Amino acid sequence: MTHMTLTFDAVNEATPGPKWAARWERSWPAYEVWFVANGGDSSPTIAQCREAMVKHLPELVSVYDKLVELAGGTDRAARFLSTWCPPTYLGGCSLAALSDGTDVRLVRNYDLSPELNEGLLLRSEWTGRAVMGMVEFLWGLSDGINDAGLCVALAYGGRSETGQGFGITTIVRYLLETCDTVGDALDALRRIPSHMAYNLVLADASGRTASVELSPGGGMTEMPKAIATNHQGRNAVADRAAFTRTHQRHAHLNDMRSNPRELNRQFLKRPLLQDRYSEGFGTLFTAEYDPNAGTLGLTIDGRRWNQSIAAFTEGRREAVYAAKPKGATAYGGRAVQSSEVDWSSAALIDWRRMARDYGSGRGREITAYLPNAMTRCSHDGWTHPAACEWG
């Protein structure tokens, strides 16, 4: 039995400053490898990226400009931070929100390899309002809450095609910086294009909940129930559906009988809890958001870490994840070898080809999707090429 570790840091910085700059310095080398290897240098120009920010996310432009300045002001950093038409990525998560008229909760499981997550919980006041959430792409969010009680979490929509739009974590950041309610957020989502298919679950302090499917290049469909996994629509074909077990997880969420206070327990056990860490698909954390209390309960490695947007405490936690022995995992009813993978190189994995193989039932060792000649990025415990997979 091997083990993987991930350090989680809780950081409080009201405006972009030295703490964010230090994080950038630690993480940018790995992100840069991913960005370049996946065609980032052929992405829209810096002028086009900023123009898109001004058009679609005007309230974030001053924050974006400050972050670019802290990042050194290079053309590549500016295009990367805009997340306008970024390279593709895949992932897997489970989301649900419940309200009973008194209590409301939004809960998510974040499923990924421990080496592909930033492990950063950030409380900020970048636009003058308090926002607390789990960081992706160095300033976007995979999930979070603001001081009005609005909560949002994302899950990959299961399709790898792209359109002209923003990376989803920047959109989640925008919603929490500018919206007070689920209704406000839905209005914003109708006009902001996402560059890939993503699912969002939302909840607010009034008890309203929602789930939406975002289409590549723009378009939003509101779903009847506030749950989501990693596919869209009844008949849509999802990447790696058998591998991620997205339909089984969705069926469980759809059929479960729970109340808001007990919802978190559902996510701490199978089939929602995942343990295939060596295959890049294990539950790294479970996040429970309470819109009325303004709190986050973060369960990592079986331990609960409570945070409040009004009384945030900086700190650090280290999680240890048990990876199954080589050859011990199962896929499609047969054994699949789980090789020891250097996840610092995972930014260069051919995720599209892997998705096609899994979809057709031809699962291979993950090393089969690494290029023959690989640029390896050195990293310490802070640096993770997280952007190759999200949510």
DSSP per position, 287-333: EEEETTTTEEEEEETTEEEEEESSS---EEEEEEEEEPPTT-EEETT
Tell me the per-residue pLDDT of 39-69, one tens digit each, with 9 for 90 and over. 999 989 999 999 999 999 999 999 999 999 9
pLDDT at 120: 96
Q: Give pLDDT tens digits for 107-151.
A: 999 998 887 788 999 999 999 999 999 999 999 999 999 999 999
Q: Check if the beta carbon of residue 314 is closer than 8 Å to that of residue 12.
A: yes
Q: What's the Cα-to-Cα distance from 159 to each of 222, 237, 238, 377, rounded to whole Å?
A: 18, 8, 6, 28
What's the gap between Cα 207 and its chain centre?
24
Within a domain: residue 362?
Answer: no
What pLDDT is attached to residue 369? 55
Same domain, 64 and 131: no
Residues 6+ apart with CB under 8 A from 127: 59, 60, 63, 177, 178
CATH classification at residue 258: 3.60.60.10
The pLDDT, as a whole number, for residue 222 is 97
Short-list 35, 159, 22, 37, CA closest to 90: 159
**Using CA atoms, how far apart are residues 388 and 156, in angstroms rounded to an integer?**
12
What are the φ and ψ backbone dihedral angles of 287, each rounded to 5 degrees? -115, 125
Domains: count for the chain:
2
Partners of 140 in beta bridges: 136
Please report the sign of the dihedral spanned by the C-alpha atoms of residue 232, residue 233, residue 238, residue 242: positive
49 & 197 share domain: no
What pLDDT score was predicted for residue 290? 98
DSSP state of 88: P
Which 3-state string (H, E, C) describes 213-275?
Answer: EECECCCEEECCCCEECCCCCCCCCCCCHHHHCHHHHHHHHHHCCCCHHHHHHHHCCCCCCCE
295: Cα separation from own chain's centroid: 19
CA distances from 123 to 7, 21, 27, 93, 225 (A): 17, 15, 18, 23, 29
The phi and psi torsions of 316 (rounded to 5 degrees) equal -145, 140
CA distance 299 to 289: 12
pLDDT of 360: 42
Displacement of CA 226 from its chain's centroid (Å): 18
Last residue of a domain, one of 84, 116, 139: 84
Q: Does any domain span residue 250?
A: yes
Is 73 in the same domain as 98? no
Q: Please give the average pLDDT of every successive group of 10 residues along the chain, which has 391 residues.
A: 85 98 94 90 94 98 98 97 88 92 96 85 98 96 98 93 96 98 98 97 98 97 97 78 90 95 96 87 95 98 96 96 53 29 43 45 51 37 34 48
The Cα–Cα gap between 14 and 98 comes to 30
Same domain for 139 and 59: no
Is residue 391 in some structural domain? no
118 inside domain: yes
**Residue 116 shares a structural domain with residue 202:** yes
Residue 76 is encoded by which pair of tokens? 């590549």
Same domain, 72 and 104: no
* Residue 221 maps to a domain: yes
Q: Find the angle CA(362)-CA(367)-CA(372) to the nearest 5 degrees.
A: 115
Q: Return the pLDDT at 277.
A: 84
Residue 2 lies in a domain: no
Residues 68 and 201 in one domain: no
> Do 136 and 80 share a domain, yes or no?
no
Shared domain check, 302 and 176: yes
Asked, for residue 336, whether it belongs to a domain, the answer is no
As a whole number of angstroms, the distance between CA 369 and CA 259 comes to 42
Which range of residues forms the domain containing residue 177?
92-323
Residue 318 lies in a domain: yes
> Is there a single domain that holds both residue 56 and residue 97?
no
Taking the CB of residue 316, how many other CB atoms lie within 10 A of it? 10
Q: For residues 181 and 281, state if they share a domain.
A: yes
Q: Is 310 exposed, middle or buried (0-12, 13-18, 19+ CB in 10 A)?
A: exposed
Q: Which residues pair with 166 in a beta bridge?
A: 84, 194
Last residue of a domain, one of 323, 350, 372: 323
Tokens of 156: 């990959």
- Which amino acid appears at position 252 of this protein? H
Among candidate residues 306, 323, 340, the one where a domain is terminated: 323
Regarding whether 114 and 30 lie in a shared domain, the answer is no
